[in-house]
Each structure stands twice: as structure tokens, then as C-alpha cells.
Chain A
């Protein structure tokens, strides 16, 4: 897979009125890699994800996935190519039981083509996936309405829903925000397992300690600009990152 990136983002730019949310961002992602994206609030991380997944149309620049141009396509088309995402603010179907939430991607043309599945079988696939995410199969948790579950469960439910799409690329938008420490640890090991099995992952995260432990490469955004990219160690030591996170003029 050397030289042939799975995802190639080129000079992506998006303005919202006068605000530049993402400016001229380019990066490449090889298959099997785990890329971390960090940056302060408002740096354009979520907008970048929205641009890649088609929820926001870019002003200029292009996105290539597996060599195919996907810039500005509809979100469901892009999801159909195999890019799954989670949402920073969980977007779940509150009126449906937890496992029915996972049924939705299983009904998509992509999954139907990959594994087939009929009514009833999908329930089993969904419960298996949830069990994997720490929803105990024999408890009532998978059958409860999603709206009645605690926040940590909702985040993992979102992850299960993304994984149900059998993605080639998984984009996690601040999955750990609002999770308890113990949940972060268990969820992180799940993501590590996915990554080791060959899944390409993009993680946007504020918990730098956890991210730096699992990431192969880290990219730093600030005010829509890419200011650093490299291995976790390089990024941690880079001057630009220190400036962003600690301020330019050190006081005391």
C-alpha cells in the first residue's frame, strides 16, 4: 500500500461568512494508519470531518478516497464508499431501542451488499456488535430506549453504529468527551483492537495522553490551518504546538 494513500485531502478550504473554518488543509492517510487530529476549540477539526464526510460542501480543494474523487458528494454516498463517522454531539435515534439504532446502517445498500442479512438476522448482528462495545447481551441495556441510556453508553452506541457500516475508514469526532475514565480505557482498547485488525482510523481528540498512546501520526490544526504533523513525539516537542497550547509568551 506504500505510495497509494487510502484518503487524500488536498487544499481543502471552507469559509463560513467571514470566518475561515478550514484553510488550505492537505494530508494523506495510508491504509491501516491511525491518525490523530488535535487543536484548540474552533480550530476547524469538526468542519474538516464534515467536509470529508459530505455534510459540508467545500469552497475549494478536493478529497480522494481510495483514488476516487468524493468531494462534495452526498453524505450517504460517501458513507456507502466506506467512510463511517461518529458525532461530537451524539446524534442517536432516541425513540428507538439501542439495538435498533445499530440496525439502521445494517439496512444500508453497502452492508446489504457486503453481508446480506434479512429481518431478524440483522437483530443478531446488531446485538453482537453491541456486546462487543460493552453492552451486555443478557442485560436489558441493548433493548432499552436509546434516549434513556447514560451518556457514556450513547457514545459507545454511536461507535457501534459506525462500525456496523463495515467501514474502511472510521472517523471518531471526540468520542471520549463526557466519558468516565474507566469507559475511556475500555473504549480505547476497543479502538486499538480495530486499528490492529487493519482498520484505518482518524481520531479527533482532546484527551492528548490517550491519543498519543495509540496514534501513529498526529496532525495539529489551529484557526483552520495545519500547523504541525508528525509522530506523537515530534508533535509534542514541536514549537508551534507548544505555542498553541501553552501560549506564545510564557509567563513565570
Chain B
């Protein structure tokens, strides 16, 4: 047995296009084009077709999945610059409350309310988190977690913005299908936008700040300003998810700050594979429907959910997307030594 292991080994060969120099692809045949296009077209086609074929209940789940995916994408963007967030619920809640309050108190149409929520909320969250951009790793994580836990308590105890009852009624979207496609569209724009961003020099600087911020400072780049920019971009996405959900449910309450909105995006990004954005989406597309389908088994739901998560982290620590990408880009075969 031992000898057989020595005699054979697994060989990995890069598949497909050989002349690859980062930004230039040499495309020589339809096979190559398909090879490149397929993995990019798959999420687009899947997300566009799914709302048409799913039942009404599952379309609602898909919409919710898209919101978690948006939060996971914005988590991944922050992680790319070295800011690990435990408080995505803060972004979600701020967006939800701004849009809800503008509509409820000032009767702004929901489109305008959402627009203000996205950009105003983005600036608000960036300013809120800006004082701690000098802190890294666990300190930023704790700060963001604390802010997201503090906010609902503040609303509850001071009775502002409807207090524990929340704000209702809030304007609703016209139809479920329209809402679903708005959600799907936002996810796709965000996914491809972020992937583009990270491959530009702007994203290269972000990743360099994550790797070694002092070296980036010595290269003459204001890392704190870059981090605040990243916070703003991530916050606009998180606030959009919040504002959208407000008008999807026609209600905004303290649940907008619930831990689910912090934990699920983080779990999605980790399960799917951080740093790729596609991984964050993959993770959300698996985790959220999974948690819904486990509802049938009642109390054991959380247990099952946790076991699956633990198994994934133990057996696929790199994340599902990294694993799939490797299998897709490389042949594996057993060769005789």
C-alpha cells in the first residue's frame, strides 16, 4: 500500500489558455471563448431565470438571498482592504431606517428615499466608522459589532423612529417580480463592479493596504483616506440592501439591526471563499436557501445549520469558490513517478 502511494502522484496541469498575462487573454477558438464566458455567464443567467421558474415563496427567499449576498459582497470589499467587519447589520439598519423614516415622516416617494438612504447612509456609516480606521483586525471587528448592537438599543430606549414598534406603513414596491429583479440586478452590478474595481490599480492598492499598511504609507498613499473610501463604497451597498428590504416589507423596525445581518454575510463570504466576491455570492446562494429549507425541522434547524457550516469550514477552509475555480482551471490526473 505504501509503495503504491510512492509510485503514483497527483499531477495538476493548467487548463485552457496558456498565454495569460493578467489583463490580456489570447482567444484562439470557440472553446476558449466558452471556457472564459461560461463561468461569468452562469450567475447572470441563473439569477435572471430563477425568478421566473420559482414558486412565489422561493422567489421571496431569492430576494432575501440577494440582500444577504449584497451584505456579503460589501463585507468582502472591506476585507480586501484589511477591515474585518462583524457589524454589517449596522449598514443594513442605517439604510433601512433612513429610507423608512424619510418615507414615513416626510412622504418622500420610495425611489427618492432609497437614493438618499444609499448615499446619505453611505456617508453616515463611513463617518461613523472613520475614527477607527487606524485600528486593524479584531479592534475594527469589535467596534463595528458594538455599533450594530448599540443602535437598536438606542432606538428602543429613546423611543425615536418609532421605538420598539418600528415605522409603518412604509411605501411598498409595485410588484414582487419587479422587486426581485431590482434585487437581482443590484447583486449583479455589485458583483461585476467590485470584481472590476479590485482588478484595477485602485483595488491593487486596497489589497496592498491589507498586506502591509506601513509599506503603502511609505509609497506616499494616504491609507486612512483609502479606507474611508472603501467604507463609503461598502456602506452604500449595505444601505441599499436595508432600504430595499424596508420597501419590500413595507415596514422598518429594530430587526433591521438583527445579528442575522451581521452573521449570515460573514458566514457566506467565509464559506464561499473571501477575496473573490463570486465566493461571497456563492456562499449566500447556498446558506440562505439552506436555512429556509431547514425551517421544516423546527428546533434542530440551527443545529443542522451549524454542523453544515462547521463541516464546510473544516473540509473546505479555502472556500467553495476557490475550490471550484481550481477544479475548473486545472486538470488533475494520477501519474506514475
Contact = CB atoms under 8 A, between A and B. Distances in A.
Interface of A: 53, 55, 74-77, 79-80, 84-85, 87, 91-97, 100-101, 103-111, 119-120, 122-123, 143, 161-162, 164-165
A127 to B, nearest CB: 11
Contact of A95 (B211, B214, B218): B211
A104 B21 CA distance: 19
Q: Do most interface residues of chain A lie in helix, strand or loop, or is the interface mixed?
A: helix
Given A91-B212, A93-B211, A95-B211, A75 B217 contact: yes
A143 B21 contact: yes
Interface in B195-214: 200-202, 204-205, 207-208, 210-212, 214
B220 interface: yes
Interface string B22-63: 110000000000000000000000000000000000000000
Nearest to A90: B215
A103 B201 CA distance: 7
Given A79-B219, A143-B22, A162-B218, 18 more contacts: A55-B218, A75-B214, A75-B217, A76-B222, A79-B217, A79-B218, A91-B212, A91-B214, A92-B211, A93-B207, A95-B210, A95-B211, A104-B204, A104-B219, A105-B221, A110-B220, A165-B219, A165-B220
A87 B219 CA distance: 12
A53 B218 contact: yes
A100 B205 CA distance: 9
A107 B205 contact: yes
Contacts of A96: 204, 207-208, 211
Contacts of A161: 215, 219
Nearest to A54: B217
Contacts of A104: 204-205, 208, 215-216, 219, 221
Contacts of B221: 76, 104-105, 107-109
A164 B218 CA distance: 11
Contacts of B22: 97, 123, 143
Contacts of B222: 74, 76-77
> Which secondary structure dominates chain B's binding surface?
helix
B208 A93 contact: yes
A102 to B, nearest CB: 9
B223 interface: yes
Contacts of B215: 87, 91-93, 104, 161
A76 B214 contact: no
A53 B220 CA distance: 11
Contacts of B223: 76
Contacts of B202: 107
Given A55-B214, A119-B200, A119-B201, A95 B220 contact: no
Given A107-B221, A111-B220, A94 B201 contact: no
A100 B215 CA distance: 13
B218 A85 contact: yes
Instruction: List the 5 shortest-distance A-B pairs measured between CB atoms, nearest first.
Output: A108-B220, A79-B220, A105-B219, A75-B217, A93-B211
Contacts of B201: 103, 106-107, 119, 122
A57 to B, nearest CB: 14
A100 B204 contact: yes
Interface centre among A76, A103, A143 (most CB of B within 10 A): A76
A212 to B, nearest CB: 27
A164 B220 CA distance: 11
A103 B210 CA distance: 15
A97 B20 CA distance: 14
Contacts of B208: 93, 96, 100-101, 104
Counting chain B CB atoms within 10 Å of each CB, the highest count among A55, A77, A119 belongs to A119
Nearest to A84: B218
Given A104-B204, A107-B201, A122-B201, A92 B212 contact: yes
B207 A95 contact: yes
A117 to B, nearest CB: 9
Contacts of B218: 53, 55, 75-76, 79, 84-85, 87, 91, 162
Contacts of B205: 103-104, 107
Contacts of B217: 55, 74-76, 79
Contacts of A122: 201
Nearest to A94: B211
Contacts of B216: 76, 104
A188 B205 CA distance: 30
A103 B220 contact: no
Contacts of A164: 219
Contacts of B220: 76, 79-80, 105, 108-111, 165
Contacts of A80: 220
Q: Which of B204, B216, B217, B220 has the most CB of A within 10 A?
A: B220
Nearest to A99: B22
Contacts of B23: 120, 123
A74 B21 CA distance: 36
Contacts of B207: 93, 95-96
B319 to A, nearest CB: 15
Nearest to A158: B215
30 contacts: A74-B217, A74-B222, A75-B214, A75-B218, A76-B216, A76-B217, A76-B221, A76-B222, A85-B218, A87-B214, A93-B207, A93-B212, A93-B215, A95-B211, A96-B207, A96-B208, A97-B22, A100-B208, A103-B205, A104-B215, A104-B219, A105-B221, A107-B201, A107-B202, A107-B219, A108-B219, A109-B220, A109-B221, A123-B22, A161-B219
